[in-house]
């Protein structure tokens, strides 16, 4: 392959050489196809989370939990929409076969949503490092037939048994729709599993560890985490309903703007009981159109994100079916697969929902039933006062608002990591007085000089005792056999990357020439031991500034060659590299490496 610069066998390792930058992209794909990400997912998340603030960590973890179960949610959502459409057709109702097929579709679509807490507990346990089967066990406990159904208990149509444990009353009520509880229990179960696996003696670990994890987890579920999760979810729901009843147009806007956040908690099912009570008391249900515009606004956000990434095949494959499910009132695929995952679309969708809610208030729009929204929901709109027309207008405003706001927010919130890093680097360089890294080609000097970067003996790249460097797989350059453990900047520029193991630094000169300074051969295996970095990614540096220190003697005792190659990794064909004669360098006098057009 053209992109692969070389392949070598080193001991029991096969080394495929791609070069700085590209190797990261290749590794992502390689790990994806070989399931390597799952093998070290916990470690990867730990490292990544260190760079995030607490809110980002929560959102990222939430997104990770739903990634694994997204195919099931998406399939169920589309089946729900299909069942809703077929169920309203007279010829389907009149034909036994079509009616039977539609019933099976309805049963299939409802299964995943009925057991969604179990799926969430499984995925959360897996995400936080526990054994997934224990997450499934906890999920089964949450939905056990021995417990009263949560929805029936909320409506008072079932008798609830109460136990007394440690002086506390424990109601035996299931956790149907309890997504927050499932998330918390998945996390707790994972941590309990890890704890008991470490503490229980190996001879009895297989029997005792899962027993203790399940027992302690179940006790926490019914005594602490369950009531806490229910209280949090109910508080959110009650606050939203109170706002619509007491704050007029503002309350309507806030409710429809934030209603989809309740879907994340799983407590949106409780609205069914509230809607039924509204219909019984007033004959009109104002919550249904509010929830409907909130849903379609998230669909608008999905369309906005799709337009921004229309050339990305994977994004199209995810966005299109997610939007279709939104049209039938199912937003879980859109929320967890796209909007919440990429952050800013959820904000755009909430703003669009608020705009639709304002229209609902101003037009006095309401429904005469509940249970369906968006396209099928138009059949429930109260026809009084041009209700059908107002329904369409409100949804048009909501979807347009979600679409436009997502596009607007995406202009400054959807920068790729590389673009963001480049802009940040440029600002940092300017603040520290370094030259502008974005010089145009015609502004670059005809001759660019790079000075010695380490004290010692300068040698040709061909003399390095490593095939990768000697054969110039990564590019041409020079090398130094160091006399001390220090590496300096060879010119003014910016540190584009310091490897986690600190044995290598990627550097870009003020004219944009890219270098890789690699300390030693195979020293990556030391995992950063004996290395101290004095710079970090994005630092602007001056010629001769100390970049990295290393313990030369200890590295050599460990059996590693400490030669330091400096490689021009992206040298255009029209440019040549002129090297000075090999000589011994000193701190004061550094040999020149000339880079000419």
SS (H, E, C) 57-109: HHHHHHHHHHHCCHHHHHHHHHHHHHHHHHHCCHHHHHCHHHHHHHHHHHHHH
Give percent of the chain above pLDDT 70.
Answer: 76
> What is the rounded CA–CA span in Å between residue 326 and residue 389?
20
Q: What is the pLDDT of residues 315-370, one digit of tens each?
A: 887 888 889 888 888 887 888 778 887 889 999 999 999 999 999 999 989 887 66
Does residue 82 surpass a pLDDT of 70? yes
Place of tokens 């937003």: 331
Q: What is the pLDDT of residues 143-195, one digit of tens each?
A: 988 888 887 887 778 888 888 888 888 889 888 877 778 888 999 999 999 99
- The token pair at 95 is 């034909």
More confident residue, 544 or 584: 544
Instruction: Give Cβ neighbours of residue 89 (< 8 Å, ≥ 6 apart).
Output: none
The average pLDDT across 425-448 equals 50
More confident residue, 499 or 51: 499
Does residue 11 surpass a pLDDT of 60? no
Instruction: Give Cβ neighbours of residue 404 (< 8 Å, ≥ 6 apart).
Output: 300, 304, 348, 352
Q: What is the pLDDT of residues 480-490, one digit of tens each?
A: 999 999 999 99
The average pLDDT across 92-102 equals 90
The average pLDDT across 564-575 equals 77
Instruction: Give Cβ neighbours of residue 564 (< 8 Å, ≥ 6 apart).
Output: 453, 454, 456, 479, 480, 481, 482, 487, 517, 518, 519, 520
Q: What is the pLDDT of residues 270-321, one digit of tens each?
A: 565 566 555 555 567 788 899 899 999 999 999 999 998 887 777 887 888 8
- The token pair at 437 is 């890294």
Model confidence at 399, pLDDT cuts 50, 70, 90, reads: very high
Place of tokens 């027993």: 211
Is residue 277 within 8 A of residue 383, CB to CB? The reply is no
pLDDT value for 218: 92
pLDDT value for 563: 94
Number of helices and strands (H, E) in the chain? 24, 17
Indicate the average pLDDT of the chain.
79
Does residue 419 surpass a pLDDT of 90? no
- Annotate 203-219 with three-state secondary structure: HHHHHHHHHHHHHHHHH
Does residue 47 surpass a pLDDT of 50? yes
pLDDT value for 594: 44
The average pLDDT across 264-275 equals 59
Give percent of the chain above pLDDT 90.
Answer: 25
Does residue 34 surpass a pLDDT of 80? no
Least confident range from 290-304, 375-389, 546-560: namely: 375-389
- The token pair at 527 is 């995992």
pLDDT value for 331: 82
The average pLDDT across 435-454 equals 63
pLDDT value for 434: 47
Does residue 33 surpass a pLDDT of 80? no
pLDDT value for 341: 77
User: How many other C-beta atoms are found inside a 10 Å radius of the C-beta of residue 484?
Assistant: 12
Biggest alpha carbon–alpha carbon distance for the chain? 95
What separation in angstroms does the CA of 211 have from each of 137, 170, 187, 204, 392? 11, 22, 17, 11, 55
pLDDT value for 568: 86
pLDDT value for 428: 47
pLDDT value for 55: 59
Least confident range from 69-83, 453-467, 524-538: namely: 69-83
> What is the rounded CA–CA span in Å between residue 170 and residue 155?
19
pLDDT value for 35: 63
Does residue 205 surpass a pLDDT of 60? yes
More confident residue, 350 or 387: 350
DSSP string, 542-565: -TT-EEEEE-HHHHHHTT----EE
Does residue 569 surpass a pLDDT of 60? yes
> What is the rounded CA–CA span in Å between residue 393 and residue 494?
53
pLDDT value for 152: 81
pLDDT value for 171: 86
> What is the rounded CA–CA span in Å between residue 364 and residue 477?
74
What separation in angstroms does the CA of 506 have from each of 28, 74, 497, 509, 567? 20, 43, 5, 10, 10
Is residue 563 within 8 A of residue 479, CB to CB? The reply is yes
- The token pair at 450 is 């790079």
pLDDT value for 141: 93
Q: Is 370 helix (H, G, I), strand (E, B) or coil?
A: coil
pLDDT value for 531: 93
Does residue 438 surpass a pLDDT of 50? no
The average pLDDT across 117-141 equals 90
- The token pair at 109 is 């679509």
More confident residue, 107 or 76: 107
What separation in angstroms does the CA of 252 have from each of 245, 247, 588? 8, 8, 72
> What is the rounded CA–CA span in Å between residue 455 and residue 585?
5
- The token pair at 210 is 């899962």
What separation in angstroms does the CA of 312 have from each of 2, 317, 332, 349, 408? 23, 9, 22, 21, 20
Does residue 500 surpass a pLDDT of 60? yes
pLDDT value for 208: 92
The average pLDDT across 87-96 equals 86
pLDDT value for 350: 93
Nearest to 52 by CA among 67, 38, 63: 63
């Amino acid at each position: 392959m053209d992109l692969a610069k070389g392949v070598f066998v080193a001991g029991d390792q096969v080394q495929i050489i791609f070069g700085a930058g590209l190797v990261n992209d290749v590794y992502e794909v390689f790990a994806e196809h070989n399931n390597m990400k799952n093998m070290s997912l916990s470690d990867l998340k730990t490292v990544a989370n260190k760079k995030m603030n607490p809110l980002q960590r929560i959102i990222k973890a939430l997104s990770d939990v739903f990634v694994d179960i997204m195919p099931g949610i998406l399939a169920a959502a589309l089946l729900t929409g299909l069942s809703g459409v077929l169920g309203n057709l007279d010829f389907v109702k009149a034909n036994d076969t079509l009616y039977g097929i539609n019933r099976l579709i309805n049963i299939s679509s409802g299964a995943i949503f009925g057991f969604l807490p179990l799926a969430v507990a499984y995925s959360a346990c897996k995400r936080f490092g526990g054994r997934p089967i224990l997450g499934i066990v906890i999920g089964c406990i949450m939905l056990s037939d021995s417990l009263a159904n949560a929805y029936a208990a909320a409506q008072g149509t079932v008798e609830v048994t109460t136990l007394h444990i440690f002086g506390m009353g424990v109601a035996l009520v299931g956790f149907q729709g309890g997504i927050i509880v499932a998330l918390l229990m998945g996390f707790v179960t994972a941590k309990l599993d890890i704890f008991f696996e470490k503490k229980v003696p190996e001879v009895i670990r297989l029997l005792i560890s899962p027993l203790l994890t399940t027992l302690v987890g179940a006790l926490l579920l019914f005594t602490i985490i369950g009531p806490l999760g229910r209280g949090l979810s109910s508080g959110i729901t009650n606050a939203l309903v109170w706002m619509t009843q007491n704050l007029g147009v503002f309350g309507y806007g806030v409710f429809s703007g934030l209603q989809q956040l309740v879907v994340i908690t799983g407590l949106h099912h409780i609205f069914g009981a509230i809607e039924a009570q509204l219909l019984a008391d007033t004959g009109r249900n104002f919550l249904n159109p509010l929830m409907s515009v909130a849903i379609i606004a998230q669909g608008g956000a999905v369309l906005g994100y799709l337009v921004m990434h229309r050339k990305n095949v994977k994004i199209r494959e995810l966005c299109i079916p997610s939007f279709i499910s939104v049209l039938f009132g199912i937003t879980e695929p859109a929320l967890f697969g796209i909007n919440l995952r990429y952050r800013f679309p959820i904000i755009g969708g909430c703003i669009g929902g608020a705009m639709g809610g304002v229209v609902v208030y101003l037009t006095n729009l309401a429904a005469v039933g509940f249970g369906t929204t968006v396209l099928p929901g138009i059949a429930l709109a109260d026809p009084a006062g041009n209700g059908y027309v107002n329904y369409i207008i409100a949804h048009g405003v909501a979807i347009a608002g979600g679409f436009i706001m997502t596009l607007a927010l995406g202009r400054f919130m959807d920068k790729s990591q590389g673009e963001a890093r480049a802009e940040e680097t440029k600002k940092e360089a300017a603040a520290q007085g370094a030259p502008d890294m974005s010089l145009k080609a015609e502004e670059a000097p005809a001759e660019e000089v790079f000075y010695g970067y380490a004290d010692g003996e300068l040698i040709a790249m061909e003399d390095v005792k490593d095939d990768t460097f000697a054969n110039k797989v990564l590019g041409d350059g020079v090398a130094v056999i160091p006399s001390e453990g220090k590496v300096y900047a060879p010119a003014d520029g910016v540190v584009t990357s310091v490897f986690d193991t600190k044995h290598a630094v990627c550097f870009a000169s003020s004219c944009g020439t890219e270098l890789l300074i690699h300390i030693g051969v195979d020293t990556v295996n030391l995992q950063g031991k004996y290395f101290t970095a004095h710079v970090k990614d994005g630092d602007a540096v001056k010629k001769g500034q100390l970049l990295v220190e290393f313990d030369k003697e200890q590295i050599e005792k460990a059996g590693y060659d400490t030669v330091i190659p400096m490689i021009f990794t992206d040298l255009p064909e029209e440019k040549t590299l002129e090297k000075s004669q090999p000589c011994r360098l000193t701190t004061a006098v550094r040999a020149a490496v000339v880079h000419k057009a």
